[in-house]
A and B are shown apart, each in its own frame.
Chain A
Amino acid sequence: GDSVTQMEGPVTLSEEAFLTINCTYTATGYPSLFWYVQYPGEGLQLLLKATKADDKGSNKGFEATYRKETTSFHLEKGSVQVSDSAVYFCALGGGSNYKLTFGKGTLLTVNP
């Protein structure tokens, strides 16, 4: 079945550091890929998405490119802020499952 594997956390960075959170997937067909973010005490919210190979999703300085050849959708940001501290979830939808499949989440802490 479909699955998502994302790097284990927690990840701790200093403000203005470069961020990469790795995400790889296994799926049949042509899934859509998502990154969701969960701030403390809140629900998940969509950060960005890509619906086909080579698409780049971007939002709030975050980017991720749908790489079919490496089955990856790594999240990057050039300069993180304290306000980016949150849990980040990679997800896929539209493979063999008729629902979203989420990764386990990566906790990011950014220190001033």
Chain B
Amino acid sequence: DAGVIQSPRHEVTEMGQEVTLRCKPISGHDYLFWYRQTMMRGLELLIYFNNNVPIDDSGMPEDRFSAKMPNASFSTLKIQPSEPRDSAVYFCASSRIRATDTQYFGPGTRLTVL
């Protein structure tokens, strides 16, 4: 299997711009997760989906962040407008049957907001 695919791998943008991160989970996996990793806060779960439906978005920092999963093979995380404090590595992960099963992580998107 190809593994979890994320794009872009690196994104540099200016404050106030819209940013869209993309994820393709492993085929057949029912769960998809978005995480954010920073030196200060470590690894944080932002939101996760089960069968394309958002289940828990309590980790989404504020209304500037939104996530969608229009089908089983694609998800987006959007930040609008972006701010310098959003600079981080964003990971997408998927798991097969349960949210507590082994999660398979993508390579991450390194976002820098200037």
Contact = CB atoms under 8 A, between A and B. Distances in A.
Interface residues of B, number: 21
Interface stretch (B67-75, B79-87, B105-113): B105-113
B105 A44 contact: yes
Contact of B102 (A34, A43, A102): A34
Given A34-B102, A49-B102, A99 B45 contact: yes
Nearest to A46: B102
Most chain B CB inside 10 Å of its own CB: which residue of A31, A42, A44, A45: A44
Contacts of A31: 100
B19 interface: no
Nearest to B110: A41
Given A44-B103, A94-B100, A99-B45, 19 more contacts: A42-B107, A42-B108, A43-B4, A43-B105, A43-B107, A44-B91, A44-B105, A45-B105, A49-B102, A89-B43, A94-B98, A98-B55, A98-B56, A99-B33, A100-B45, A100-B103, A102-B43, A105-B42, A105-B43
Interface of B: 4, 33, 42-43, 45, 48, 55-56, 91, 93, 98-108
13 contacts: A31-B100, A32-B100, A42-B107, A43-B106, A44-B91, A45-B105, A98-B98, A98-B100, A99-B48, A99-B99, A100-B100, A104-B42, A105-B43
